Amino acid sequence: EVITTLDKAKSLAERAGKIAAAKMEALKLVDLPPNKITPEYLGDWAKSLGKKAKLDVKVFDSKKSKSEGLDAFLAVGRGSAKDSKFIILEYRHPKAKFHLGLVGKGVTFDTGGLNVKTQGMHHMKSDMGGAAAVLATTQLVAEMELPINLTAIVPAVENAIDKDAYLPSEVIGSHAGLSIEVIDTDAEGRLILADGLSYLVKNYKTDQIIDLATLTGSSIGTFGFECAALFSNDGNLSHGLQQAGEEVGEKSWPLPLWDNYGREMDSEIADIKNYHGKPFAGAITAAKFLQAFTHEHPAWAHLDIAGVAFGDGEFSKTKTGTAYGVSLLLRYIENQL
């Protein structure tokens, strides 16, 4: 028998167990290989969480996604034999203090598409690190019965290459109604996030939105593997995420969202292009692209977690998932309560 003088020892231990279990799920989702972690697997994972916890879960297949107007999302998965899944989880609490929206990039494997990656492709099983963080956080919020409303969206796709793959120079549609000129098929994460963000804003009244995505090598060029790149149009949200990250060791640092960067994404033949094709400001221009699909929501934050979701760890000989985002989001949410 363990004896302790610590107050609330049992509830603290239970809390720690729930946090550990959620982080283990996030690690597993990132580390398992892409023949196991497919869009369908992520959809089934969400459905199974819905049966265990107080959650409503919807998973759209390609056909349903088409009828919902998720054209940018569908374009990315067109070249894959694995059907894309658009996953929505809704957690509601009767004493909710606020409504938070989460969107996580769920590219279960990223070849780069026809703009094929030329190095490090075997690490691209980790390109759903944002999805893992969002799914695990949703599990944690539901299990801890936190007094918030949470709507989480995970667009899950595989970016593969075959006769149906989307082409550089295509002009595709989007849920927001904006046409997108595809400059680079390896700038695919922002396409699925664009539809995820737009769908969330149009269908749910959220007070704040946070998206997490292993989005750009540029963010690693800026910060190395120390922290996530943070973008937000709301100072309180930005400071809150920074502060929460400092408290739990999941750091982020802000970069600007100035309008001039957005002009880099102007297209001559569509409303916007998905890549500016230049070797500078890649993380910022990607964030400006995403912002164009938020319907001017007043409190949105984007965390580019490319450098922190997957890396060298003390317990593994190979690169491994970090569960970055789970502790950060939990601390951020609890700081608001």
The verdict on residue 134 lying in a domain is yes
User: Which of the four pLDDT bands, split at 50, 70 and 90, describes residue 2?
Assistant: low
The verdict on residue 3 lying in a domain is no
The verdict on residue 8 lying in a domain is no
pTM for the model: 0.97
Domain that holds residue 89: 13-336
The verdict on residue 325 lying in a domain is yes
The verdict on residue 1 lying in a domain is no
Q: What are phi and psi of 207, to 5 degrees?
A: -75, -35
Q: Express each pLDDT in 195-206 by its tens digit.
A: 999 999 999 999
Given a cut of 90, whether residue 39 has pLDDT beyond it is yes
* Positions marked active-site: 117, 190
The verdict on residue 200 lying in a domain is yes
User: Which of the four pLDDT bands, split at 50, 70 and 90, describes residue 1?
Assistant: low
The position carrying tokens 């946070």 is 210
The verdict on residue 66 lying in a domain is yes
User: Which of the four pLDDT bands, split at 50, 70 and 90, describes residue 177?
Assistant: very high
Given a cut of 80, whether residue 307 has pLDDT beyond it is yes
Strand partners, 180: 172, 272
The verdict on residue 239 lying in a domain is yes
Indicate which CATH number applies to the domain containing 185.
Answer: 3.40.630.10
Q: How many domains does the chain contain in total?
A: 1
